Structure formats: C-alpha cells, structure tokens
C-alpha cells in the first residue's frame, strides 16, 4: 500500500508524520497529488487561511479521491475538511465534513497544549484497542456543528470534537505523530483498514 | 502538567551552562533526546545557544536528526528569525519555534509567524535577570540587556499572538537550588497563554514547589543530564502528591 502525505501548505509537519509511519513499517511518500496513492494523510500545523488557500486547489481532486479511498486529516488537516474556518477571518474549507472551525470557547489559557483522553460517542475504527490512551493536543481552534462525531475531549470543562469518522473520511484533532506509542498504533489502525 | 526536557545545544553537543556561562558538555543531542523521549518526557526543547550570538542560522540538519527518534512534541530555537526558518523547521520534525533575541529586536516577527503557522507554533523564551526591584529580559543567551520588563514583555508577546512562554532565570539557571517562585507565579498570573517554568530544579521538592503554581509545564535540564533523577521518578512524585501528569 502507498501512503501519501500531502505537502501543499507552507506549514505541515510532513517529516514528523513520515517518520512515524515509516517506523511502523509502511511505505510513505510526500506527495503533491493523489495520483498513485492508496491512503492520504493531510498534515496539520498552520493557520486556517494559509492551510485553506493551499488546499482549496485540491478540492475537486480530494472529493473524487474519497469516493474510493480513505483520507485522514490531523489537527489543522481535520479542520480543513470542514466547510469553513474562522481563524483571523472567515475562510472556505474543503467541505468534506459538515462543520466549521472556530476558536475554542474557554477562559482558560489557549492554545490547549498537552495530553488528554478521548471519550467515545460511538464505535471508532481508529481508536480500536486504544480506548484508554491519551493523545497530545496543540491547538486553539476546534470543529463545531459536526453532528456525527466519533469522540470528544474535555479541556478545562469544555468538550470539543477530537475524532471524526465518516465513511472514508477520518480526522483527529490531536497529533498521533506526537503521541508516543499510542499515536503509532493509531496510524497502524488507520492503515490496516 | 507537562514535564519537559530541555537541551541547550552548542553543536554538536548538549551543554549545561551555569548562570548561562561556564559550559560543560553532557552528551549528543540525538542520544539525549531519544533517551528522554523513551523515559516519558512530554516534550523536548532544543535550543541552539550560540546561533544568535554568532549571528548564524540554526543548524537545520542537526535539528532534523535530533527529531528522528522522538514521537513527542519538539520545540526548536536559537537564531530563528523568519517565516522561512520556521517553515524549514516545521517541515523537518519541529512542532514550534522558540524565539527570544530576534523577537526582542523585531516583535513583528511573532505576528508574522503566527499568521502563517498559528499561535501554537510560537514559543517565547524569556531569559530573566533579577535586579533590586524588577526583572529584565536578556538576549543572546543571557549576555545582553534589553531594558524590557519581564511581565510587560510577556503581555506584549501574548498580544502579538505567541502561544506559549518558557521562562529561564539567569541567577537560578544550572544551580539546582530551586526555581524563582516569585517571578514564576507573577508570570503565570499575568498572561492567559501556557507558561513553562525552567531554571533551578535541584530536587523533587523544588519541582513540587513550582508545580503548586500550576504552570503548563516544567522544564528540566541539569537533573536529567547528570542522572540525578529520571522523568519517571519526577512524574511519579508529582502523581503521589495529587498532580495530573501523563505517564
């Protein structure tokens, strides 16, 4: 299987994701298109406008790709799957997920940095065998309005969407590539689907 | 609460300065980063302590190499001053950049990097020097004065969009005689972004004292480099005293 890591934005921690997936024994490629790719990962790290401007040119290609193949967005990569983001100013997203990306509604310090549990709302393929593990979060924005979310996480009493699984579309708000062994296993779960 | 291992790097070695001076080599950054990751560090902080001073770019290949075996957040600083530097680091294993000298010279760089990479990608390193009635920010690895008040500067960088502050205190750094609790507390109270406290961990009790201030993280160097304590022992002690840490 060929795992593609989409390199389109000026941000994007592509090497961090590549070395994590290499570590679990899959062949990865840093790609600028979906051609020849079996599963695609959309990296995070970046502001919404920068990420959206970079990924919008791929909108049609990605919509086509997910009819037959799986994608996973990480952090900003998951937020970009939404219809819209509101970091700095409103910006169009990929529209693959029925949701919007807004600033976390909390009076506690932001960004939210650190390890948290994920609380399953329904069965999760990504989290299989990892239900009690913690994952690393680094974000100030969250996905809202997504009615079919798979898991929530609580930051200082505020609950936000931490996993989305809908057909071929997967998204995680945390960083599996930065979540130690648990994160590596989550990649393994995704890639063995 | 995060327990963060801090590597002060004078390529190709990790060194441990005392009061930011008098360097002692303690190992290779690749080896120590891997060791602290395997021991359960929640984050690795890598600071090239001479790049600002020598006015050279950070050594990108070395930072990439250090990130190779660690699967936990990796913050990199030392001479970072442009969006291009940040991009190169984030594409190559880093999750965020740490700025001090270049942010003081030109604070607009904070805004610039945040607009492209987001707040979570920018950590400001404050190197504080205590005077009779105030604390001053120092640049160039504790060598040069800036005339900036620590707390005022902290609020300024928060306004510019920085996502985190890591505090070092020149008089306490490397001495292993406890943190500057007064300044730490004031800093944590003054801003609404995560604050990591460093400089001074000498014992489990020192760490417990600073943990009571509820910082977002505690940065530890000497204790780990000299094998006085392991991350696991530190975390276990915090857990035994009712703190939430990840193991």
Rounded Cα distance between B173 and B81, Å, is: 25
Rounded Cα distance between B186 and B27, Å, is: 34
Spell out which residues of chain B touch residue A111, defining contact as CB-CB under 8 Å: 118-120, 163-164, 193-194
pLDDT at A10: 78
pLDDT at B54: 87
Of A16, A19, A134, the CB nearest to B246: A134
> What does DSSP assign to residue A14?
H
Distances (CA, A) of A6 to A51, B32, B63, B68: 12, 31, 22, 20
Return the H-helix or E-strand segment holding A77.
helix A76-79
* Contact assignment for A13 to B116 by CB distance below 8 Å: no
Global confidence as pTM:
0.95
Spell out which residues of chain A touch residue B42, defining contact as CB-CB under 8 Å: 114-115, 136
Domain residue limits at A169:
2-191
> Please, what are the domains in chain B?
2-239 (3.20.20.70)
Spell out which residues of chain B touch residue A178, defining contact as CB-CB under 8 Å: 71-73, 95
Q: To the nearest whole number, what is the mean pLDDT of chain A?
A: 94
| Three-state secondary structure readout of chain B | CEEEEEEEEECCEEECCECCECCCEEECHHHHHHHHHHCCCCEEEEEECCHHHHCCCCCHHHHHHHHCCCCCCEEEECCCCCHHHHHHHHHCCCCEEEECHHHHHCCHHHHHHHHHHCHHHEEEEEEEEECCCCEEEEECCCCEEEEEEHHHHHHHHHHCCCCEEEEEECCCCCCCCCCCHHHHHHHHHHCCCCEEECCCCCCHHHHHHHHCCCCCEEEECHHHHCCCCCHHHHHHHHHHCCCCCCC
Nearest residue of B to residue A117, measured between CA atoms: B246
Q: Which long-range contacts (CB under 8 A, 24 or more apart) does B81-86 make?
A: B81/B105, B81/B106, B81/B109, B82/B109, B83/A10, B83/B112, B83/B113, B83/B116, B85/B57, B85/B58, B86/B113, B86/B116, B86/B117, B86/B121
3-state SS class at A76: helix
User: Looking at the complex, does the CB of residue A136 fall below 8 Å from at least one CB of chain B?
Assistant: yes
Q: Render each residue's pLDDT in chain B as its tens digit; 247 residues.
A: 999 999 999 999 999 877 767 788 999 999 999 999 999 999 999 999 999 888 899 999 999 999 999 999 999 999 999 999 999 999 999 999 999 999 999 999 999 999 999 999 999 999 999 999 999 999 988 889 999 999 999 999 999 999 999 999 999 988 889 999 999 999 999 999 999 999 999 999 999 999 999 999 999 999 999 999 999 999 999 999 999 999 8
Q: Which residues of B156-192 are buried (b: 16+ CB within 10 A; e: fewer)?
A: bbbebbbbbbbbbbbebbbebebbbbebbbebbeebe
Rounded Cα distance between B84 and B87, Å, is: 5
* Contact assignment for B91 to A184 by CB distance below 8 Å: no
Question: Which residues of A are part of the catalytic machinery?
Answer: 75, 175, 177
pLDDT at A28: 94
pLDDT at A117: 96
* Contact assignment for A15 to B67 by CB distance below 8 Å: yes
Residue A34 belongs to domain with CATH number: 3.40.50.880
pLDDT at A148: 74
B→A contacts (Cβ < 8 Å), by residue, are 1-2, 37, 42, 64, 67-68, 71-74, 83, 87, 90-96, 114-121, 163-164, 191-195, 216-217, 246
**CB atoms inside a 10 Å sphere around CB A175:** 26
pLDDT at A60: 96
pLDDT tens digits for B209-242? 999 999 999 999 999 999 999 999 999 999 999 9
- Domains of chain A: total: 1
So what's the ipTM on this one? 0.93
pLDDT tens digits for A89-140? 999 999 999 999 999 988 899 999 999 999 999 999 999 999 999 999 999 9
pLDDT tens digits for A1-57? 999 999 987 788 999 999 999 999 999 999 999 999 999 999 988 889 899 999 999
Rounded Cα distance between A54 and A7, Å, is: 9
Of A15, A136, A180, the CB nearest to B64: A15
**CB atoms inside a 10 Å sphere around CB A12:** 29
Spell out which residues of chain A touch residue B64, defining contact as CB-CB under 8 Å: 15
Rounded Cα distance between B58 and B183, Å, is: 30
Q: Residues for chain A: how many in total? A: 193
Spell out which residues of chain B touch residue A109, defining contact as CB-CB under 8 Å: 191-195, 216
């Amino acid at each position: 299987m060929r795992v593609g890591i989409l390199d389109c934005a000026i941000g994007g921690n592509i090497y961090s994701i590549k070395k994590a997936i290499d570590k679990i024994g899959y062949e990865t490629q840093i790609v600028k298109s979906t051609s020849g790719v079996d599963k695609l990962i959309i990296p995070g790290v970046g502001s919404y406008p920068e990420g959206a401007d970079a990924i919008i040119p791929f909108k049609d290609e990605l919509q086509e790709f997910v009819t037959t193949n799986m994608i996973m967005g990480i952090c900003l990569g998951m937020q970009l799957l939404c219809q819209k983001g509101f970091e700095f100013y409103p910006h169009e997203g990929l529209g693959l997920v029925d949701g919007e990306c807004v600033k976390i509604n909390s009076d506690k310090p932001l960004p939210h940095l650190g390890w948290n549990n994920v609380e399953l709302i329904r069965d999760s393929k990504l989290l299989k065998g990892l239900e009690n593990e913690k994952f690393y979060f680094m974000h100030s924005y969250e996905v809202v309005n997504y009615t079919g979310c798979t898991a929530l996480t609580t930051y200082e009493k505020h609950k936000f969407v931490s996993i989305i699984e809908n057909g071929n579309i997967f998204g995680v708000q945390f960083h599996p590539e930065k979540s130690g062994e648990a994160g590596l296993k989550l990649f393994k779960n995704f890639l063995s689907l | 609460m995060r327990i963060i291992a801090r590597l002060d790097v004078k390529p190709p070695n990790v060194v441990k300065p005392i009061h930011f001076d008098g360097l002692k080599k303690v190992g290779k950054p690749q080896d120590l980063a891997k060791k602290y990751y395997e021991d359960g560090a929640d984050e690795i902080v890598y600071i090239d302590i001479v790049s600002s001073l020598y006015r050279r770019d950070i050594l990108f290949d070395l930072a990439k190499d250090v990130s190779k075996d660690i699967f936990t957040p990796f913050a990199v600083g030392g001479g970072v001053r442009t969006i291009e530097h940040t991009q190169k680091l984030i594409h190559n294993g880093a999750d965020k950049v740490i700025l001090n000298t270049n942010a003081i010279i030109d604070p607009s760089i904070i805004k610039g990097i945040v607009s492209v990479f987001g707040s979570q990608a920018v950590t400001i390193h404050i190197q504080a020097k205590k005077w009779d009635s105030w604390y001053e920010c120092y640049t160039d690895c504790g060598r040069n004065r800036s005339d900036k008040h620590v707390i005022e500067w902290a609020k300024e960088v928060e306004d510019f969009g920085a996502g985190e502050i890591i505090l070092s205190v020149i008089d306490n750094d490397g001495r292993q005689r406890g943190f500057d609790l007064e300044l730490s507390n004031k800093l944590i109270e003054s801003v609404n972004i995560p604050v990591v406290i460093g400089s001074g961990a000498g014992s489990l009790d020192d760490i417990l004292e600073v943990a009571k201030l509820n910082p977002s993280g505690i940065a530890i160097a000497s204790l780990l480099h000299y094998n006085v304590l392991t991350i696991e022992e530190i975390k276990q002690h915090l857990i035994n005293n009712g703190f939430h840490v990840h193991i």
